[in-house]
Structure 1
């Protein structure tokens, strides 16, 4: 069973609210969680932007 990456609830695979990001499908318990994810997916997936190394 998929997990909503915003609120960590278990979500049925037939969930109405889904998004695709980087060729992966994500399932959400509500339109609110879907919108939060769509606005900033990297926040919920742990993707960090590259850091500039000090010179």
Structure 2
């Protein structure tokens, strides 16, 4: 659980909400950080990052507070 003030991100593979502090994994792709709910979603992203990066990519809401 996010104890400090933080943004909830969206897993780009399945669309599930992910607390960055509890993410099963994370990757930087084209300068942007993506967070994953499970190792399975992370593996799918690793196989084809361009397929997932633009559509449901994590939202950078942390700066908007």
TM-score bucket (shorter structure): 0.7 to 0.9
Instruction: Please list every run of 5 or more consecutive structure 1 residues that lacks an aligned counterpart in the other structure.
Output: 48-55
Deviations 1:4-38 (A, max 9, x none): 01000000011131111111110000011001001
Partner of residue 9, structure 1: 16
Over the residues paired in the alignment, what is the CA RMSD in angstroms? Answer: 1.5
Q: Name segments (4+ residues, structure 1) moved above 6 Å.
A: none
Normalising by structure 1, we get a TM-score of 0.76
- Deviation of residue 46 (structure 1)? 4.0
